[in-house]
């Protein structure tokens, strides 16, 4: 079986049901099936073959269903790009993936044009309209007519390639197969039943693993998917209140904003059965208010790009237990999904006892095939058949998993993963800087924000705005430091490694959980 088989099934059995809508465009299951089939034929017409890569760069839109599922049918592998990145960062991922075509939303045409001469792209396609030197998606679809593609796609073939980063080196392309995604869909559906025809709300950007897999899950269940191009709290509230939504996916910061709206308590939400959140734990105050306002179940998911999207769930019962006095459970990310094993090990790979912090390792059918063209990194990350997550945590006597820190110094701000090394390399290019470390510091809404700690030469007169303004020219906005401290020297151990724990301690000393996300 393949991921797109679910779309075909529902297009036959409920052809006129709305599959996906974005507020301005709406497609039924029949229409998504037809458009994705045409897109698959259009890809073949462009000379693309099974295993070739294409890049997708757009804000959320109903057309994402056409692009994803059409690529799946053609055996072509989509490489979604984070639209918040700098064009220089897109350039690397396009070169590394070898993407032969790119499909771009109107907001990002200019950014791609600025790097057009340095990427291997053969076909530049605009999803809306037809700028100069660009092909039009609609023209491609019209030209495909009713042709079909007889691509031999099976469950062991690559489904998509998403880029994730480490604390050192370049971003890495995690390759997910149909088989892995199908396993994750089964794991999610086992824990979270969704009934055909129910409305779902998806706000997180579809270049993210969690959002993309949510889209596949919703379509696999025959649901109607409402997507938002940008997070609009008022519109979210209206959708939740009008009875069209049974399940919604947010990050905790979004929940906090929505329940804080003056009109939130003026409505009832009779059809809303659950709110799924991830990327960070939810605060007790926010949870209590949200439960009072929405009167629905809450579920937290934990995972990463390398395992499709989900390794563990913290379910409704645990949320109720937490509010009944077991507040420690709100710091947990739950227990493993079906078919998944979790271990906590020390630096030598030896299992640690309950309650002791070590690296979180996971094993399950949803784990990636590997990193694109990086055999050494793949071998290290999947050593002995276990996904080495880079997160540090522990399990309690009931098997609940708690994330207490990060092995890789990852910063999570909102739902965005930020890797300090990348920012440090940019700041180090300033001639006045002789040493730099980047850490995450707590933030009430976003979990963490970026702080740079800089050592400058004695003659230098840098101020915080100098560093921040320079970073804005080199990095995506969410990676730019929000604050900069200047000190005489960075603390280091005997081998010269910067002691980031020491740098973080003053900012996190009053927090039980030493990460914001």
Collapse the DSSP code of 234 into the 3-class scheme (helix H, G, I; strand E, B; otherwise coil) and give the result: helix
What does the pLDDT look like over 215-274, one tens digit per residue? Answer: 999 999 999 999 999 999 999 999 999 988 999 998 887 898 899 899 999 999 989 999
Residue 252 covered by a domain = no
Q: CA Rg, the chain, in Å? A: 23
**Measured between alpha carbons, how far is 369 from 308 in angstroms, rounded to an integer?**
11
Q: 176, 191, 209 — which closes off a domain?
A: 176
The H or E element that residue 486 is part of is: strand 483-486
Residue 390 covered by a domain = no
What does the pLDDT look like over 336-381, one tens digit per residue? Answer: 999 999 999 988 899 999 999 889 999 999 999 999 999 999 999 9
Contact by Cβ (8 Å): 219, 27? no
CA 422 to chain centre: 19
Which CATH number characterizes residue 488's domain?
Answer: 3.30.300.30
Residue 326 covered by a domain = no
Least confident of 74-83, 110-119, 344-353: 344-353
Helical pair 464-472 and 420-427, crossing angle rounded to 10 deg: 110
237 against 446, higher pLDDT: 237
- Two structure tokens written together for 492: 């280091």
Residue 382 covered by a domain = no
Q: 128, 144, 176 — which closes off a domain?
A: 176
- Total structural domains in the chain? 2
Residue 220 covered by a domain = no
Query: What's the pLDDT score for residue 410?
Result: 73
Residue 11 covered by a domain = no
* Residue 373, number of CB atoms within 10 A of its CB: 13
User: Pairing state of beta strands 199-202 and 224-227?
Assistant: parallel
Residue 71 covered by a domain = yes
The answer, yes or no, to whether residue 166 has pLDDT greater than 80, is no
What residues make up the domain containing 431? 411-508
Which CATH number characterizes residue 75's domain?
Answer: 3.40.50.980
Residue 266 covered by a domain = no
Collapse the DSSP code of 214 into the 3-class scheme (helix H, G, I; strand E, B; otherwise coil) and give the result: helix
Confidence category of residue 186, pLDDT binned at 50, 70, 90: very high
Residue with tokens 């692009």: 67
What does the pLDDT look like over 242-259, one tens digit per residue? Answer: 988 999 998 887 898 899
The answer, yes or no, to whether residue 7 has pLDDT greater than 70, is yes
Ordered DSSP codes for 51-75: T-EEEEE-SS-THHHHHHHHHHHHT
Mean pLDDT, rounded, for 495-503: 74
Confidence category of residue 497, pLDDT binned at 50, 70, 90: low
Contact by Cβ (8 Å): 494, 465? no
Q: 176, 202, 223 — which closes off a domain?
A: 176
């Amino acid at each position: 079986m393949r991921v797109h088989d679910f779309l075909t099934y529902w297009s036959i059995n409920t052809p006129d049901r709305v599959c996906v809508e974005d507020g301005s465009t709406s497609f039924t299951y029949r229409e998504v099936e037809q458009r994705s089939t045409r897109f698959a034929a259009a890809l073949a017409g462009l000379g693309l073959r099974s295993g070739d890569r294409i890049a997708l760069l757009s804000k959320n839109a109903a057309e994402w269903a056409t692009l994803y599922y059409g690529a799946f049918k053609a055996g072509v592998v989509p490489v979604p790009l984070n639209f918040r990145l700098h064009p220089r960062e897109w350039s690397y991922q396009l070169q590394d993936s070898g993407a032969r075509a790119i499909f771009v939303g109107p907001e990002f045409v200019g950014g791609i044009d600025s790097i057009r001469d340095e990427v291997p792209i053969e076909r530049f396609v605009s999803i809306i309209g037809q700028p100069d030197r660009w092909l039009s998606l609609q023209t491609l679809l019209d030209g495909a007519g009713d042709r079909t593609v007889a691509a031999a796609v099976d469950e062991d073939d690559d489904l998509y390639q998403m880029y994730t980063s480490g604390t050192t080196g370049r971003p890495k392309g995690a390759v997910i197969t149909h088989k892995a995604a199908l396993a994750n869909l089964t794991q999610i559906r086992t824990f979270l039943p969704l009934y055909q025809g129910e409305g779902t709300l998806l706000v997180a950007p579809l270049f993210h693993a969690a959002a993309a897999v949510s889209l596949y899950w919703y379509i696999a269940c025959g649901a109607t998917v409402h997507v938002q191009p940008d997070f609009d709290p008022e519109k979210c509230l209206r959708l939740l209140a009008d009875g069209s939504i049974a399940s919604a996916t947010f990050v905790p910061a979004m929940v906090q904003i929505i329940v804080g709206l003056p009109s939130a308590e003026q409505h009832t939400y009779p059809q809303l059965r659950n709110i799924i959140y991830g990327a960070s734990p939810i605060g007790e105050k926010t949870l209590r208010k949200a439960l009072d306002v929405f009167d629905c179940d809450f579920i937290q998911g934990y995972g990463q790009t390398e395992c499709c999207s989900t390794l563990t769930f913290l379910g409704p019962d645990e949320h109720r237990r937490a509010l009944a006095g077991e507040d420690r459970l709100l710091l947990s990310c739950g227990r493993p999904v079906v078919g998944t094993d979790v271990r906590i090990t020390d630096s030598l790979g030896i299992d640690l006892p309950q309650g002791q912090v070590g690296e979180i390792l996971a094993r399950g059918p949803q784990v990636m095939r590997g990193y694109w063209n990086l055999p050494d990194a793949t071998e290290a990350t999947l050593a002995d058949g276990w996904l080495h997550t880079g997160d540090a945590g522990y399990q309690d006597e009931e098997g609940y998993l708690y994330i207490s820190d990060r092995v890789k110094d990852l910063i999570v701000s909102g739902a965005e993963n930020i890797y300090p090394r990348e920012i440090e390399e940019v700041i180090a290019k300033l001639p006045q800087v002789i040493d730099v470390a980047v850490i995450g510091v707590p933030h009430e809404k976003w979990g963490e924000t970026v702080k740079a700690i800089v050592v400058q030469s004695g003659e230098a007169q840098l101020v915080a705005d100098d560093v921040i303004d320079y970073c804005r020219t080199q990095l995506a906005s969410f990676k730019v430091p929000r604050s900069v401290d200047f000190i005489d020297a960075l603390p280091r151990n005997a081998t010269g490694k910067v002691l980031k724990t020491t740098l973080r301690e003053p900012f996190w000393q009053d927090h039980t959980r030493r990460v914001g996300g």
